[in-house]
Amino acid sequence: SMDLARGAGDWSCTVCYGCAGLLTGVFQGRSRTGCAVAYVLTNAVVVLWAWQGGAELPLLYEVFAASVLFLLLPESLLRKVRARLRREGTPDTADRAAAYVRDRLTHTAEAFRTLYESMRGSFRGHTPNDEDLSTVFDRAADKVCRRCALRDACWQRDYNGTFSALNDALPAMAERGRGEAGDFPQHFATRCLHFPQFLAAANEALTAALCRRQYQSRLQENRAAVFRQYGTLSTLLGQAASELSDSLTPDPAREKRLRRHLTALGLEGDAWVYYDRAGHLRCELAGPDLTPLRREGERAALSGLMGLPLHPAEEVSDGPAGTHLVFTQAEPLQAVMGAAARQKGGETVSGDAGGLLRTTDGLLYVMLCDGMGSGPAASRESKLAVRLLEQFLRAGVQADTALKTLNAALALRSEEEGGFTTVDLLELDLFTGAAVLYKFGAAPTYLRRGTSVSRITGGALPAGLTDGERTAPDVTRLQLERGDLVVLVSDGVADARDDQWLRDALSAFDGTSPKDLALTLVDGQDGGTGPSDDRTALVLRLELREEHP
């Protein structure tokens, strides 16, 4: 434009300014002084190369003056200008959304791997089964009648009479689990030369056959449980595939503001803004060094930029490619937790185990498991249950599916080790206050609203005690409000028959410290004698988050 204003055929401005700017771009990202020097020197070389008298001298003066002004301008102003002039790259938010779903699939696979490792030792080889109870007489005859003088008479000439006598005795023997002399016809019992030995051999064979039949039944149940696991896995992967096929919703306007904000801060990297399936905002940023974004003040600035409160950054990775940070939308509600536990008197560890998990979807999970008995064995069972639940829930598996899978796994383990555990699982949506309480044979749960205390119980058996298509936890749906108190306890604290003192303690609680309330509950009414069972109490109070009005 400048050259056209000076007349046709004069391209000195284009050559001097354009060439100098082009070569200075090589120094992009380095010191401002280096860029200014490169610009001035390149301009001077081009001017001297195209020298035609003194007409080009003003170009040298202008470039030198502009470089000085460039060095004097504050860095903050230059960042704002760069943010406005920054060329937007092609958004690949869909790729980031797919990567997010793939991560969930990876976590699911890892959870099933842990499940497999925990079950692998429960399977043992088995010998061929014999379910035909009539064979007990063949085994007895082979053991007793082989050397008997009447063998041919009983088993050849009078085979039909012998066969009928044994068939008549079999139903009573099978129902009772062992045979008695009165089960056999009189003519058979008196004719047999070794009847007591024959009856003892038949009972021995019958006991073995009944054991094999029971083993076969349990084996079939185990196989059915494994098949159900395959069905569950198929369902989970189908859900994940469906989630992968559903494109998450990008927010181009917020994404553009976030990328400009990165440029204004002088940070290299890229940004993606989208909404997950629940409609909650997620901001992902990747770059070589995003340390300034971890500061509390910067999180507040990002919250203002997005128009929504955000959680502190969660670091997904920090490898050779740099840092990958994720900011998720903060929930309007928060849970204040208090926990306390005491092991049974004389034990070194508690058989109870608890867990707390908050997902990026805004769901809070509170877990309490009580292993059978007390001591190290009960501790192993309860900790395994909590660990498996955490892995499934973190992977995005729905709570009811995770609990059914856990129950099937523990049922298989109990075939060899005979253990089971109660399960209390509270699922709380911190965006809406909707809650679901799942119970597998657990002690009552208590809800306090105001000064009123209600008790929630269930009739399901503990996890791992039985398995089948109809085996499921008790489910209670709640709508919690600000100030509500939820208390999960193991059966060592109180049961439904003797819990008035606990209800009184909840009614009298002033709401100051959930931890103090948990300590009060596990201390119970010992009178200093020590607990007769493991005791654990988890207290949750729902509050409004400070960032929300």
- Going by C-alpha positions, the residue among 240, 257, 241, 247 that lies closest to residue 94 is 247
Q: Pick left, alpha or beta for residue 457 (phi over 0 → left; psi -120 to 50 → alpha; otherwise beta).
A: beta
Q: What tokens were used for 111?
A: 């959870």
Q: Is the pLDDT of residue 152 over 70?
A: yes
Is 3.60.40.10 the CATH number for 333-544?
Answer: yes
- The number of beta carbons lying within 10 Å of the beta carbon of residue 298 is 16
DSSP secondary structure of 110-145 = HHHHHHHHHHHTT----PPP---TTHHHHHHHHHHG
pLDDT of residue 435: 97
Evaluate the CA torsion angle 254, 259, 263, 265 in order and state its sign.
positive
Q: Is the distance from CB of 293 to CB of 313 less than 8 angstroms? A: yes
Structure confidence at residue 8 as a pLDDT band (50, 70, 90):
low
The residue-averaged pLDDT of 192-213 equals 85
* Sequence-ordered alpha helix ranges (H) in 265-307: 296-306
Q: Is the distance from CB of 228 to CB of 407 less than 8 angstroms? A: no
Structure confidence at residue 337 as a pLDDT band (50, 70, 90):
very high
Half-sphere exposure of 155 (CA within 13 A, CB side): 14
d(CA 145, CA 154): 9
User: Average pLDDT, whole number, for the chain?
Assistant: 81
pLDDT of residue 430: 95
Structure confidence at residue 89 as a pLDDT band (50, 70, 90):
very low
Residues listed for the chain: 549
Lowest-confidence range among 213-227, 341-355, 489-503? 213-227
Lowest-confidence range among 19-33, 83-97, 479-493? 83-97
Greater model confidence, 88 or 337: 337
pLDDT of residue 26: 75
3-state SS string for 151-208 = HHHHHHHCHHHHHHHHHHHHHHHHHHCCCCHHHCCHHHHHHCCCHHHHHHHHHHHHHH
d(CA 18, CA 40): 12
Structure confidence at residue 242 as a pLDDT band (50, 70, 90):
low
Q: Is the distance from CB of 148 to CB of 193 less than 8 angstroms? A: yes
- pLDDT tens sequence across 207-218: 888 888 777 776
Q: Cβ neighbours of residue 355 under 8 Å, at least 6 residues apart?
A: 365, 366, 367, 386, 389, 390
Q: What tokens were used for 519?
A: 């300590």
For helices 75-85 and 252-264, the axis angle rounded to 10 degrees is 150
Structure confidence at residue 127 as a pLDDT band (50, 70, 90):
very low
What pTM does this model have? 0.64
Q: Beta strand pairing status for 322-328 and 485-489?
A: unpaired
pLDDT of residue 538: 96
- pLDDT tens sequence across 46-56: 777 766 655 56
Lowest-confidence range among 30-34, 41-45, 324-328? 30-34
- Going by C-alpha positions, the residue among 513, 497, 462 that lies closest to residue 339 is 513
The residue-averaged pLDDT of 107-135 equals 60
Q: Is the pLDDT of residue 129 over 50?
A: no
- The number of beta carbons lying within 10 Å of the beta carbon of residue 541 is 22
* Sequence-ordered alpha helix ranges (H) in 343-467: 376-394, 399-417
pLDDT of residue 66: 81
Q: Is the distance from CB of 506 to CB of 487 less than 8 angstroms? A: yes
The residue-averaged pLDDT of 75-79 equals 72
Greater model confidence, 80 or 65: 65
pLDDT of residue 519: 93
Q: Is the pLDDT of residue 353 over 80?
A: yes
Q: Cβ neighbours of residue 35 under 8 Å, at least 6 residues apart?
A: 24, 27, 28, 70
The residue-averaged pLDDT of 412-416 equals 70
DSSP 18: I
pLDDT of residue 67: 79
The residue-averaged pLDDT of 338-345 equals 91
The residue-averaged pLDDT of 70-88 equals 69
**What are the CA-CA distances from residue 369 to residues 106, 300, 442, 514 (Å)?**
26, 38, 8, 20
Structure confidence at residue 154 as a pLDDT band (50, 70, 90):
confident
Residue intervals in the chain for CATH 3.60.40.10: 333-544
pLDDT of residue 130: 47
Structure confidence at residue 125 as a pLDDT band (50, 70, 90):
very low
Query: What percentage of the chain carries pLDDT values higher than 90?
Result: 27
